[in-house]
Amino acid sequence: MTARPFPTRSEDFNEWYNQLVLKAELADYAPVRGCMVVRPYGWALWENIQQALDRRFKATGHVNAGFPMFIPASFLEREKEHVAGFKPELAVVTIAGGEELAEPLVVRPTSETLIGHMYAKWIQSYQDLPLLINLWNSVVRWEKRTKLFLRTTEFFWQEGHTAHATAEEAEAETLRMLDVYTDFAVNEAALPVIPGEKSQSEKFAGARRSYAIEAMMGDGRALQSATSHYFGQNFAEAFDIKYLDDHNALQYCWTTSWGLSTRFIGAIVMAHGDDQGLILPPRLAPYQVVVVPIYRSDDERRLVLEEADKLTSELVDYRVWVDRREGHSPGYKFNDWEMRGVPLRIELGPRDIAASQVILARRDMPGAAGKQAVPRTGVAAAVGELLREVQAAMYDRALRFREENTREASSYAELKEAVETGFASVWWCEEADCEQEIKDSTGATSRCLPIEQPEGGGVCFRDGRPAARKAIFARAY
């Protein structure tokens, strides 16, 4: 065995992640501090995420559009919480076309303000509502401490922005999109998530209420994986988004926004990966199956590659890659694709061809347990079946891990212990001063107030104040 190219997760989870992302060629550091290049393998994963989400957005009545990246600096000032939240992180263009600009332009940190400006122009009457637009783009937030995918100064994402005639419709939209994200995470990424409301101190700058899906990573920390915000009439008032209702009276709209970013790739890496590398969920994996040909002579090579082509042509329903690289042993290729997380490996050599079989190996079960010989005629069916099994097993494993590392805490001492290794579930007063104290002394924050709540109420685990809901606390990325 050669030395592992990165530490194990228990040796150094942080370095395991950083080096794995580079080694697996998901992303690389760009020359500008804090920016990343998403490499083709990472981008193919992102494209699969995009397609799975875009399908869901369109099925729920949304359409895409393209908005510019520049926003007049004055726009941000119009909603006071919004500007307070984003101003410290802005990148500002002051020179363009060789001249100093009269008004500086900010590169969008998010597009609520520009959307507000255009919606005010486009929306006249109730017949124009709801307006349900999504953007696939990138945004810039000048972060001090960066980490590939999780926190970069520019990141790729989608941002949905909707306007409605009533508060009820806007609230329903906010929760509908939270559901869409939950469904995507569970059924596409095999990621168990907890959908819930954010506390007042954790909500989006300018939102009345923010919701998120929270996932547990392999080190027990939480990662906010997507968010959905209800703005009430905050942005409608700031940008004068009004409509004539069916009694011909002018009303402010009710708006929402929601987003999921390339950060989600970080969640997939950290929730599913093991000490050998990535484990990618079959539904999103760039390659679902890799075929590693095994041969010694040129004759064997010809024979095996011909058979690999035949096999590939039977697997058109799947994303299959035949690793034809010269100068690398099959063992090297096994390790390489294991590191890159391909869900299924097909090993194919002259002896397999003679025996009319192939060897199928599951990425999520390394070693002999995940390996089986499958008759040549049954490969397509077996591949379909195994990919479904891998997808389900990945979800089950991640859910079990989260359950094993989540504790019901009824005292501050119990919470402190729980957040050392995972999530704490507590009755909580939801007060900002309480959250600040917890953060200062434990490093943990309230991740969300889950949508699913037990009956009744309780008292705050820390200060004994009345608690209407339970909350999840954890250290977070």
Q: Which residues bind a second copy (CB under 8 A)?
A: 28, 30-32, 35-40, 42-44, 46-47, 63-72, 75, 87-98, 104-105, 107, 114, 117-118, 121-122, 127, 133, 137-138, 140, 142-144, 153-154, 156, 262, 325-327
Least Å distance between CB 85 and a second copy?
Answer: 14
- φ, ψ of residue 35 in degrees (nearest 5): -95, 155
> Distances from the Cα of 428 to the Cαs of 197, 404, 463, in angstroms?
13, 22, 9
Q: Which is nearer to a second copy, 17 or 57 (CB)?
A: 57
Q: Which is nearer to a second copy, 72 or 330 (CB)?
A: 72
Distance CA 263, CA 271 (A): 12
d(CA 149, CA 110): 17
**What is the closest distance, in whole angstroms, from the C-beta atom of residue 91 to a second copy in the complex?**
4
Nearest-approach distance from CB 134 to a second copy, in angstroms: 9
For residues 260 and 434, which CB has a smaller minimum distance to a second copy in the complex? 260
Residues 106 and 88 sit within 8 Å (Cβ to Cβ): no
Is 130 in a helix, a strand, or coil? coil
3-state secondary structure of 471: strand
State which residue, 13 or 46, has the beta carbon closest to a second copy: 46
**262 Cα distance to chain centroid:** 6
Closest separation in Å from C-beta 38 to a second copy: 4
Whose structure tokens read 């007063």? 429
Question: 84 phi and psi, to 5 degrees?
Answer: -60, -40
Least separation in angstroms between residue 98's CB and a second copy is: 6
DSSP string, 247-259: TS-EEE-EEEEEE
Please state whether beta strands 194-197 and 445-450 pair in parallel, antiparallel, or not at all (unpaired). antiparallel
CB-nearer residue toward a second copy: 63 or 381: 63
- Say if CB 29 and CB 146 are below 8 A apart: no
Query: Which residues are registered as beta bridge partners of 393?
Result: none
Least CB distance from residue 49 to a second copy, whole Å?
A: 12
Q: Which C-beta is closer to a second copy: that of 137 or that of 405?
A: 137
Q: Could you tell me the smallest distance in angstroms from the CB atom of residue 47 to a second copy?
A: 7
Tokens of 175: 């929760």
* Closer of 146 and 187 to a second copy (Cβ): 146
CB of 140 to a second copy, least distance (A): 8
CA distance 153 to 188: 27
- What does the DSSP 8-state code read for residue 268? H
Task: Using the minimum distance from each CB to a second copy, give the nearer residue, 16 or 239.
Answer: 239
